[in-house]
Amino acid sequence: MVPRAARISDDRDGSPHERRIDGDAHRSCCRAPYEDRLGRSRRRSTRRAEQVRLLRLGHSCIREAVELLGFGSGSMRTIGVDATYRMDVAALERALEDDRAAGVRPIAVSASMGTTNTGAIDDLDAVADVCSRHGVWFHVDAAYGGPAVLLPEYAAAARGLARADSAALDPHKWMFVPVEAGFVAVRDAEAMRSTFSLVPPYIRSAGSATGVYGLPWFSEYGFQQTRGFRALKVWMTMKHAGLDGIRDRVAENIALARYLAERVRATPQLELAAPPGLSVVCFCHRGGADLNRGLLERLQLSGDAFLTSTELDGRFVLRACIVNDRSTRNDVDRMIETVVRIGAELTSGTAGAFP
Ligand SMILES: Cc1ncc(COP(=O)(O)O)c(C=O)c1O
């Protein structure tokens, strides 16, 4: 389960110091590829030729992790996307080749199973191929979209995900677990342990699977030592809903998002801003960014519906992400009606002063 706050001692630049960090699944697992690819040594200095590249930044938490770990923003490179907002895998391959040619050693690629912006799923199989050709750690951010692997429709993504070196999943997003509970699955548990373990001899166990000499401490696999029992609520939700229950709810949310997309297409005042991915639908009211900004503010404060916003290719758009198992078609209808009403008021100048 996710470390919340932790202290790490890090002297890879030769001067021992401590950093205080807030952890999450990505922040934890980002350290593992570093140690794995750079010889698992905390004491090794980072020479110019060993600079790291983390490619395809999806959610900002990955950038945050890279910065907190001291790699610096300059060590990241963002890979472009295609027209459906999926990673351009050919561009990824070229970037890795360019890195090698420039004497830079890329260490990790982060792909997405369900981006925050549009719910896009990268071609995980193809990314896995590129990563294995280049000997690069393959991480998948499945924080939001991971549970879609339960649906046959997403079997291809599930196959790609199964090839990851590490994957993050937030049950508080789409497994209907109360905030917050996140986890990271790492293929090579020993890499994780040898990266993080600072366990002093008086509490170190032999790590025997029988438990006779003590099990390995969870704290040896991440930043956090003492931890809350977050696993309990994940377990309870799974016991309560069952995998079938979670699968059904995820499928319903996706169906509802498709219904919303249909309603947008059928409403002349609105337009889809991106192909709907999983349960995310980005759209906007015709009339420009200012109108949509005003609309979003009024919509949220009306209490009728909660949309967020994002930017796609520099364009401000409204974003619906359906992850509530109680959402219904009526909610979607009501939201569309309210959006259209507020849009009409703003267009005609009858909306009145605000706030
Ligand atoms: C795809 C994705 N990854 C990671 C995160 C970060 O999750 P958290 O804020 O729960 O750490 C989010 C949050 O929205 C997300 O959508």
Q: Which helix (H) or strand (E) holds 139?
A: strand 137-141
Q: Does residue 220 sit within a domain? A: yes
Using one digit for the tens of pLDDT, what is the confidence trace for 292-351? 999 999 999 989 999 999 999 999 999 999 999 999 999 999 999 999 999 999 999 887
- Alpha-carbon distance of 106 to 95, in angstroms, equals 9
Nearest residue (by CA) to ligand 1, atom 16, is 116
| 244 and 220 together in one domain | no
Which ligand 1 atom minimizes the distance to the CA of 25? Answer: 11
| 218 and 247 together in one domain | no
| 120 and 262 together in one domain | no
Question: Residue 8's pLDDT is what?
Answer: 27
Q: Is the CB of 122 under 6 A from ligand 1?
A: no
Q: Is the CB of 143 under 6 A from ligand 1?
A: yes
The SS3 assignment for 227 reads coil
Nearest residue (by CA) to ligand 1, atom 15, is 116
CA of 344 relative to ligand 1 center, distance in Å: 34
What residues contact 290, with CB distance under 8 A and at least 6 apart? none
- Alpha-carbon distance of 318 to 281, in angstroms, equals 8
Question: Pick from 94, 34, 103: which is nearest to 66 by CA?
Answer: 34
Q: For residues 16 and 213, which has the higher predicted lDDT (pLDDT)? A: 213
Summary mean pLDDT of the chain: 84
Q: Cα dist. 173→26, 29, 143, 276, 279 in Å?
A: 15, 19, 7, 18, 12
Q: Is the CB of 35 under 6 A from ligand 1?
A: no
Percent of the chain with pLDDT strictly greater than 70: 78
Q: Is the CB of 223 under 6 A from ligand 1?
A: no
- Residue-number span of the structural domain to which 315 is assigned: 240-348
Mean pLDDT along residues 185-205:
79
| 195 and 283 together in one domain | no
Q: Is the CB of 99 under 6 A from ligand 1?
A: no
Alpha helices in 162-310 (DSSP H): 171-174, 189-196, 230-265, 289-302
Helices (runs of H) and strands (runs of E) counted in the chain: 10, 12
Q: Is the CB of 224 under 6 A from ligand 1?
A: no
Q: Does residue 233 sit within a domain? A: no
Give the domain CATH number at 330. Answer: 3.90.1150.10
| 193 and 290 together in one domain | no
| 180 and 275 together in one domain | no
The number of distinct structural domains making up the chain is 2
Tokens of 18: 């401590």
Q: Does residue 354 sit within a domain? A: no
